[in-house]
Chains A and B, each alone.
Chain A
């Protein structure tokens, strides 16, 4: 593995007595795309802000591009492209001016910023909107503009806090495609998400965090392998019959999870498990055999589903 561009040891952030981030350790390699996966309030944004040198850690060690954020905030931030959870575009400026002015904050010259802004507008598919007011953009367009803005300084590391939350499926796929291209160019991506499919699409490696601590770490595939089975059968019996069915199902799978609306049966061979369920005389209202996902990993680790 190449030398890490970010490394954290026992990183902690406390607000009064409450530990939002509670002693997490991880390393992110150059060119890697690394994810923080966790539910609301897990401490994802807090971690991102500490890495981004806009929040001071309470304890532990943190190094970003070899520097300590406590001492070298401006130097570190100059190498980062930050996409915050909530858009903070400059609503008093036009779309293209948002890119130029942001580049000026990095001390970059106008001669470079003009062509670069046009290139990024193209990249974000916003060329026609160059002269529009920010408030007139749709949510997806604002998000793309925020990403374009984060690229104005050719960052070594992109920090993306829930880049696609609130976007429709099409807009998400456009964004994923753009992020994929950045990754191909060797930019390190650090992102948070509570979408499983996003983590599986974009992350080489991820940590699952909950209540400020790391629950598991690995590639999406290895986590699924370690904490789940190859396939899952989802059965719905109707809420009043779920419990009765569950006791019968226990015998035929490695593990089952009873959720309010359905039962998940974990088995390496889903079709066979479904077949056996029918043989036991269980007739679910609906049944679905699917591949295991990170959602199942999260459920296994915490006993809760990720999106409540």
Chain B
């Protein structure tokens, strides 16, 4: 046997400029692993995640919407009810997908599997693991968003060309929720603590100007809701699909950018202290 001629490739680590000992520039492998594992075990959850907002849209937008008719939006325009809630449902779908992937999924891996132990014994750093898991959540969110946009297009609910920009917006929203969600999850030890996530998600879903304008609330409640991330997501996507674009968009984008930054920092730090103590 001649083994000297074809020397096996030796793993080579590019030392990145940022976070050199925490990042090896190989988040993609973590994402690949997730795709492979999901394809074999969790695909039903993935599929059901797509239909959930579609059912909401049909039931509330088309069904309930036929009683409600048009709805007044700021600037004096009025749009059909279905076109009003569809972008909100899109933002909610992005949030839900990202949160599921980055919280429950990650919670199980951290507390019941030894997956991250194994990953961090390779040349991967904690930042690769965090980024890889989050990119997986994004990829899923993106696929959902594309599917839902097609449904919206078919139903004639995309009112402006700017609707196409809702796709990157959804990815940004998912990125923010996923990184923040994973950061929070890394601190959780028990199922009871995980229930807090649902406790926050449900009211956020129902109240964030999803089904009716914020103006129905008293002032103090409007402020509280505007502090929540989902409201920013709903406003961002809605203004893009309806074409009522204002400079307020930039604030929403900034809000999510900060969330991404905080979430990624939290997650990387926490993974380092948990698995590279």
Contacts and interface: CB of A to CB of B under 8 A. Distances in A.
Interface of A: 52-56, 70-75, 77-80, 82, 84, 86-94, 97, 101-102, 104-109, 112, 116, 153-154
Nearest to B21: A73
25 contacts: A54-B120, A54-B276, A71-B21, A74-B21, A74-B23, A74-B24, A74-B123, A74-B125, A75-B13, A88-B114, A89-B118, A90-B37, A91-B113, A92-B41, A102-B122, A105-B29, A105-B119, A105-B123, A106-B122, A107-B11, A108-B11, A112-B8, A153-B10, A153-B11, A154-B10
Contact of A107 (B13, B22, B113, B125): B13
* A-side interface mostly: loop
Given A53-B276, A74-B124, 16 more contacts: A56-B277, A74-B125, A77-B121, A78-B12, A79-B10, A79-B11, A80-B121, A88-B118, A89-B118, A90-B33, A90-B115, A93-B40, A104-B29, A105-B33, A108-B9, A153-B10
Contacts of B276: 53-56, 73
Nearest to A102: B122
B189 interface: no
Interface string B145-156: 000000000000
B52 interface: no
A101 B124 CA distance: 12
Contacts, number: 106
A209 B36 CA distance: 43
A107 B21 contact: no
Contacts of B41: 92
Contact of A84 (B21, B32, B33, B117): B117
Contacts of A87: 114
Quick one: which of A55, A82, A93, A106 has the most chain B CB within 10 A? A106
Interface in B184-208: none
Contact of B30 (A54, A92, A105): A105
Nearest to B32: A104
B275 interface: yes
Q: Which 4 A-B pairs have the closest CB atoms?
A: A88-B114, A78-B123, A105-B122, A104-B29
Contact of A88 (B22, B37, B115): B115
B26 interface: yes
B114 A106 contact: no
A300 to B, nearest CB: 35
Nearest to B28: A104
Contacts of A86: 114
A89 to B, nearest CB: 7
A64 to B, nearest CB: 13
Contacts of A55: 276-277
B117 A88 contact: yes
Contacts of A116: 8
Contact of A54 (B11, B33, B275): B275
A222 to B, nearest CB: 33
A101 B24 contact: no
A92 to B, nearest CB: 4
Contacts of A112: 8-9
A94 B40 CA distance: 9
Interface string B1-20: 00000001111110100001
A52 B117 CA distance: 12
Given A105-B124, A106-B122, A72 B21 contact: yes
Contacts of B37: 90, 92-93
A109 B8 CA distance: 11
Nearest to B26: A107
A109 B9 contact: yes
